[in-house]
Amino acid sequence: MDTNYSETGYLKLVQDIFHRFPSVQKDGFSAGAYKPGLDRMRDFDQALGTPSRQFRSIHIAGTNGKGSVANMLASACKACGLKAGLFTSPHLIDFRERMRVDGQRIPKEYVFQFLTQWMNWIIAHDLSFFEITTGLAFRWFADEGVDVAVVETGLGGRLDATNILEQPSLTIVTSIGLDHCELLGNTLEEIAGEKAGIFKQGVPALVGECSRETSSVFEEKSWMFCPLEYADRVKPSLWGRSETLLRQMDLQGKAQVKNLRTVLAAVDILRGLPGFEALNKKDAVQEGIIHTARDMHFHGRWERLSSQPLVIADIGHNAHALQYNFQQMQELLDEGVCSSLIIVYGIMADKDLNAILPLMPQNATYIFTAPDTPRALQADELLRRFNDFYHLGRLSRTYAFTSVRQAVQMAVALSHTLSQQLNRSASAEKPASPLIYIGGSNYVVAEALPLFAGKDKAQ
């Protein structure tokens, strides 16, 4: 194998790990993409020189919100002068999005050298794609000498590859919802037990939401084991600034209220721990949180892709997350911020569509689509199930397109037509324009993002 870096060589190696090693993002939970258990990952970490033990870490699990919480915490740490690593998944466009230091992606040259050096070992030990990227991220964080790495689990927690972190500074479980039930359990209690598997002896544990179904699980897991706190049962020291933060944050999704409270509660815990004294700079913490999307290059969370037409994209993909997005859209419509809703929507076939359908606004135009992955529910089937649920025939306000590009083009054209109609009929005051929402899946948003490159995104 050629060990000299070239762009061609880099692209070949990256394509190779995508095709040779199954990933959940590409293959779903089949063909060995999800390999529960820590033995392979521990062996890999040992071979790499145990980088998992060479930096402080914050370990985050949860059904929803863990990506936003991870990015906000990393941004706050960076703003306070700490060198902050960040490991999240999945990526939207470039897989280097998964690994960042102070918001900057891992260099292509580092990825190339790492894969060149370790490919034979990886093949011999039959690692999954996620195990490869976890080892890559941890080795890079150690080499970079990060002050802290904020690490998001891939799936669950107890058996997740990231759970080789033996002594994180803080563990966080953001929320619990019914998702990936075939792997994590069919009840909230079972899923909570898997997420709480990241708790460690003597390490503070923070749970975002206290609920009747799951609190006993968390308390049993932490009893005489680690100190436990619920973010929604405490008043973080910066909570008095929450209204200002929520108004100024570049993460504007409705669910960010809960995520912000979790982040601020985490900051209170961390600033009392060795190595995190810099988080006492409250103004810097606030600035870091406000500019999370900008400074971490964080995409797909109620992200404005265009102002003319108004386009919002969000990766929320289960009922627990989508209830906030659909409610936020409905509020914008009710308040006259937009004149109508155009929803470009696609979903993976393994998601609980029956739980999502009752949440979907009925006064919207739907353009159903399927991203380019075998995991996707086909657009025609999605259209049929939507119409069957609402006892509708094939209406002029529901469409199906086989590609995300076609669906987005249809949405933009329809938005222009509706805007022209409004302009002709409106008074002198400029009328509100339609809102285009793109979501239902990471994959839908990933294919939509490049279509709006260079667009005006002014708030």
CATH number at residue 68: 3.40.1190.10
pLDDT of residue 383: 94
Domain end, chosen from 296, 328, 354, is at: 296
pLDDT of residue 419: 85
Total domains in the chain come to 2
pLDDT of residue 193: 86
Nearest-angstrom CA–CA distance, 290 and 257:
13
3-state secondary structure (DSSP) of residue 399 = strand
| Structure token pair of residue 200 | 């460690």
Nearest-angstrom CA–CA distance, 163 and 152:
10
Q: Are residues 116 and 200 in the same domain?
A: yes
Q: Are residues 90 and 227 in the same domain?
A: yes
Q: Are residues 263 and 385 in the same domain?
A: no
Q: Are residues 272 and 312 in the same domain?
A: no
Q: Whole-model pTM?
A: 0.90
Q: Are residues 340 and 209 in the same domain?
A: no
Domain end, chosen from 296, 321, 355, is at: 296
Is residue 246 a part of any domain in this protein? Answer: yes
Is residue 357 a part of any domain in this protein? Answer: yes
CB 61 within 8 Å of CB 198: yes
Is residue 459 a part of any domain in this protein? Answer: no
Q: Are residues 311 and 267 in the same domain?
A: no
Q: Are residues 96 and 125 in the same domain?
A: yes
**List of the chain residues with pLDDT < 70:** 1-2, 22-36, 178-186, 393-396, 425-431, 455-456, 458-459
Helix (H) or strand (E) holding 87: strand 84-87
Is residue 458 a part of any domain in this protein? Answer: no
Q: Are residues 324 and 219 in the same domain?
A: no
CB-based contacts of 111: which residues, under 8 Å, 6+ apart? Answer: 10, 13, 14, 96, 136
Domain end, chosen from 262, 296, 330, is at: 296
pLDDT of residue 321: 86
Q: What is the domain-level CATH number for residue 396?
A: 3.90.190.20
CA terminus-to-terminus distance, the chain? 49
Helix (H) or strand (E) holding 142: helix 129-144
Q: Which domain holds residue 366?
A: 303-452
Q: Are residues 285 and 341 in the same domain?
A: no
Is residue 1 a part of any domain in this protein? Answer: no
Q: Are residues 148 and 172 in the same domain?
A: yes
Q: Are residues 259 and 308 in the same domain?
A: no
Looking at the DSSP bridge assignments, the partners of residue 59 are 151, 171
Q: Give residue-wise pLDDT tens across range 325-362.
A: 999 999 999 998 889 999 999 999 988 999 999 999 98
Is residue 54 a part of any domain in this protein? Answer: yes
Q: Are residues 93 and 146 in the same domain?
A: yes
Is residue 2 a part of any domain in this protein? Answer: no
